[in-house]
A = this chain, B = another copy of it.
Amino acid sequence: MSQQRTGPTGGPDFPDLPEATVARLPEYLRALHHLAEDGHDTVSSEGLAAAAGVNSAKLRKDLSHLGRTGTRGVGYDVTLLIDQIEQVLGLTHRRAVALVGVGNLGHALAGYAGFGTRGFRIAALFDADHGRVGEHINGLVVRHIDDLPEVVEQESISIAVIATPAHAAQHVADRLVEAGVTSVLNFAPCVLNVPDGVDVRKVDLAIELQILSFHEHRKSALTALPAAVQKPGRVGMANRLGGEAVAT
């Protein structure tokens, strides 16, 4: 799973990237698109690292996994690097995504323009509530969840977003997997059980806040202590230029 470049899954076209690197490539991609818009055609590791909010050693190590990508003494070619990253991430064609659950959050996600501009196309909306089926959102009709297998097949959907209440999420996940979906982004606050070969990522808003709460708690405890025992120049978590990753 690590750097071995000669294993069965390795090879020049499919470098076996560390997960931490995979999670950062999208950030580099976003920064690169920004740089391209601003007219840069090359960028140094230092410059790109700053734009992406990481340090340059990490960035160079990450990019080195993709093979020779930069030019020593010069830097990286912006458009070339964009192509290489998009290639590796499988973003050379727009992937069709299904969204299940068009409640409060689902509505917002259905209307989110960021999907469209960054490699994805919301191809279908689903809900279990017959009262919502037939509703038009952003040019798409909400379909009943029973139509999943048919639509997933028709639209070649392999990625789905779950934005249902927690109690429905496992059931929805089961039906998605059954219909052939192999990647799920779960917004429902619960654990999903899926078979091997299916990837799940989750976003839980309350968990993010609770992690922040921990640090708040600790900061306020620190300021309550006599200043003498505090480490110099350090209050709570030091936060070098660019915030902290959600991806521990």
Contact = CB atoms under 8 A, between A and B. Distances in A.
A248 B19 contact: yes
Contacts of A112: 104-105, 205
Given A8-B229, A199-B237, A230-B8, A88 B214 contact: yes
Nearest to A234: B196
Given A90-B216, A95-B216, A235-B197, A206 B26 contact: yes
Contacts of A158: 216
A211 B201 contact: yes
A197 B211 contact: no
Contacts of A140: none
A17 to B, nearest CB: 8
Contact of A27 (B25, B89, B95, B207): B207
Contact of A214 (B53, B90, B196, B197): B90
Contact of A209 (B97, B194, B233): B97
A206 B118 contact: yes
B91 A191 contact: no
A60 interface: no
A164 interface: no
A242 B19 contact: no
A244 B200 contact: yes
Given A112-B104, A193-B241, A239-B196, A201 B212 contact: yes
Given A107-B108, A239-B197, A248-B248, A9 B222 contact: yes
Interface in A220-247: 220-222, 225, 229-231, 233-239, 241-247
13 contacts: A22-B211, A29-B210, A105-B108, A115-B205, A115-B206, A118-B210, A183-B213, A183-B215, A193-B242, A194-B239, A203-B205, A203-B208, A248-B248
